[in-house]
Amino acid sequence: KDEEGNAWVTVHSGSRGVGYKVAERYMKKSANDDKNFEATHPLHDESKFGLEYLNILDFGLEFALLNRLEMIRKVNMAISQVLGEEIKFDLWVNKNHNHAIKEGDYYIHRKGATPAKLDERGVIPGNMRDGCFLVQGLGNEKFLNSSSHGAGRKYSRKGAKEKFSMEEFEESMQGIVGTVSQGTLDEAPMAYKNVFDVMDAQKESVKVVKHLTPIINWKGERGMRHSKN
C-alpha cells in the first residue's frame, strides 16, 4: 500500500529465461564459436544476425510484459473472489532492465540500472520488508539519465544463506505475510543494501512519487522457477 492506504500490485519478473537463452545464442553467433564466446564480439544492427537479435530482443520484452500482466490478472481475480466484487486496475508503469535501448546513434545497455529521463516513470524495489519506490526521472546527465534498478545485493545468494538464519529472516518479516522459507532465505531483507540510503544517493536523478510498503509478499522459491514441461 502507499502512504494514503491505496492498494498496489507490483511484479518483479522477466522473460523467464528467454532473455538469457537469446543472449547466449547470439553471443555464440557473433563469436562464431559455440564454446569460447564469453568475450565481446559485435553484431552490426543491419546484418542478418543483428536484425534477428533485435527482433527477438523485442519479443523477449513483450513476453516479459505479458507474464507480468498475467500475474497481475490472477492476483486481481483472487482479490475479486474474496471481496465478491470486480476489481479494476490501471497500469502505472512497466519498467525493463538489463537490455539494449537505441538512444540516438547508440545502443545503451544499462546493467543493474534503468532509464530516468526527464519525467519518465520508474519503480525501484528495495526488499521483502521495505517495499519499493515509484519515481519520476529528473533527466540528470551526470547520472547518464539513469537510476538504479533496485537496492542491490549486499550478500550473494550463497553468502546470505550462510550469513543469516531462518529465525533472523522470520523476525525481519514481522507484520508482513510473505514467503518466508529456507528456499527464499537468500531473499531476506538483510541480504540487500539499505534502500533508503540508495534512494538518498540518487535524489539528483529521480524524485520519489510514492513509497509502497508490503502487505503480502510472494516469491517463487529458487529451483522451482523453471519447469521442464
Query: Tens digit of pLDDT for each residue in 55-111?
Result: 999 999 999 999 999 999 999 999 999 999 998 889 999 998 888 889 889 888 888
* Phi, psi dihedral angles at 192 (to 5 degrees): -110, 160
CA-to-CA distance for 169 and 180, rounded, in angstroms? 7
Contact 16, 226 (CB under 8 A): yes
Q: Which helix (H) or strand (E) holds 96?
A: none
CB atoms within 10 A of CB 180: 20
pTM over 0.85: yes
With cut-offs at 50, 70 and 90, classify the pLDDT of residue 219.
confident
The answer to whether 188 touches 130, Cβ cutoff 8 Å, is no
Question: In whole angstroms, how large is the CA radius of gyration of the chain?
Answer: 19
- pLDDT tens by residue, 143-178: 999 999 999 999 999 999 999 999 999 999 999 999
Provide the angle, in degrees to the nearest 10, between the axes of the packed helices 18-31 and 48-83. 170
Strand partners, 3: none
State the Cα–Cα distance between residues 130 and 150, nearest whole angstrom.
12
